[in-house]
Amino acid sequence: MSRNYLFSSESVGRGHPDKVADQIVDAILDDLILKDPEARVACEALVTTGMVLISGEISTPGAYSDMPAIARRTVKRIGYDDPSFGFDGETCAVLTAIDEQSPDIRRGVVGKKRMGAGDQGIMFGFATDETPELMPMPIMLAHKMMMRLETVRKNKTLPWLRPDGKGQVAVRYMDDEPRYVESVVLSAQHSPDVAQTKVRDGLRAEVIEKVIPRAMRSVVPVKIKINPTGRFVEGGPKADTGLSGRKIIVDTYGGMAPHGGGSFSGKDPTKVDRSATYAARWVAKNVVAAGLARRCQIQLAYAIGVADPVSIAVETFGTGALPEEAIEQRIRKVFDLTPQGIIDALELRSPVAERYESTAYHGHFGRTLKGFTWERSDRVADLQKDG
């Protein structure tokens, strides 16, 4: 049965404190995998005024990562390069507290004929034909606002912008189809000497109107709220402590699909929290691209130390061209969803510079950057075969 409803999703900028933490740990992961593709990494970060704390479990024979240098480089690349921001890559303290991976976990992953999952858990993937990226429209528009905010800050179109920011887009669905944007919220950090009218006018003209398609904002007057508190001068880790793994709905589908609960950033591909979630998106995207459903949700479940998923569940929300049981059978024939099969098919250990760091902002899905192998629609022909 078709439905009419309003759905909102949010995204955050590269300078949001939680995303600063995500980018630091994924930059460390990239560095270690470039040096040792077999590295076992489970890394976390906390950022606050003048400080970065990196902790976790890392096991790699002979590979060394200069974590303080990577953290400082990442912070400066994001845009925190001025001490007046209260947090910058030159002067912040960087503390590390790293242990080796638990031998009990290692036993289930290393040295087995069929590598087992690095943990138990459930993972979800999702795809829908409502956007070219096969992603839900609300989260894609929110991400694109953050991408545009980053662009106009870096190219000085709006030179008074600073790195922190958040955006939210509410889309009206009618008969389960996105029809128009009903409201937009945009908060952007700025220098203290710029007038609020200039901030509002600039963000409306250079971000919102450049991103939200005219057809989607001409049906009804869009309710726009820009920096609702009036000023957004103090931002980033100085204003709010950031933790890695705390923006998991921003990382995925903006709330349009369930989330298993496990975060991604700082984890190597033996952790199915990350790799199996990427695989579930890969499967769902190929199902939709193959025309087997207009909307598809995949759930995978794993047990620690066990290679094969303990369950695969398919939900097409009444849009399937085939029964869900038939789609599941085709998925099982076409995709190897063991941890090793996922790692090999998606080349998750191949040395691609900044692969994982690039996932840590603007979402893990819906972009075709180098290394985003889970966004390939490369199993469409196989899925379309009958029998």
**266-305 pLDDT, tens digit each:** 999 999 999 999 999 999 999 999 999 999 999 999 999 8
Rounded to whole angstroms, how far apart are CA atoms 146 and 250? Answer: 11
Domains contained in the chain, number: 3
Q: Whose structure tokens read 């003209």?
A: 205
Stretch 222-235: mean pLDDT, rounded? Answer: 94
Q: Are residues 69 and 45 in the same domain?
A: yes
pTM for this model (two decimals):
0.94
Q: What is the pLDDT of residues 238-251, one digit of tens each?
A: 999 999 999 999 99
* Residue 53 belongs to a domain: yes
* Residue 111 belongs to a domain: no
Rounded to whole angstroms, how far apart are CA atoms 363 and 140? Answer: 9
pLDDT for the residue numbered 149: 98
- In total, the chain counts a number of residues equal to 387
* Residue 146 belongs to a domain: yes
Q: Are residues 38 and 95 in the same domain?
A: yes
Contact 166, 190 (CB under 8 A): no
- The tokens describing 253, both together, are 């589908």
Q: Whose structure tokens read 């709006």?
A: 158
3-state secondary structure of 315: strand
Rounded to whole angstroms, how far apart are CA atoms 217 and 123? Answer: 34
Q: Are residues 329 and 215 in the same domain?
A: no
Q: What is the pLDDT of residues 354-378, one digit of tens each?
A: 999 999 999 999 999 999 999 999 9
pLDDT for the residue numbered 352: 87
- The tokens describing 236, both together, are 């980033």
* Residue 113 belongs to a domain: no
Percent of the chain clearing pLDDT 70 (strictly above): 96
Stretch 182-203: mean pLDDT, rounded? Answer: 96
Q: Which of 71, 382, 372 is nearest to 237 (CA)?
A: 71
pLDDT category of residue 104 using cuts at 50, 70 and 90: low
CATH of the domain at 57: 3.30.300.10
Q: Which of 67, 22, 71, 2 is nearest to 246 (CA)?
A: 22
Q: 356 forms bridges with which residues in the sheet?
A: none
Domain containing 352 equals: 121-129+246-384
pLDDT category of residue 257 using cuts at 50, 70 and 90: very high
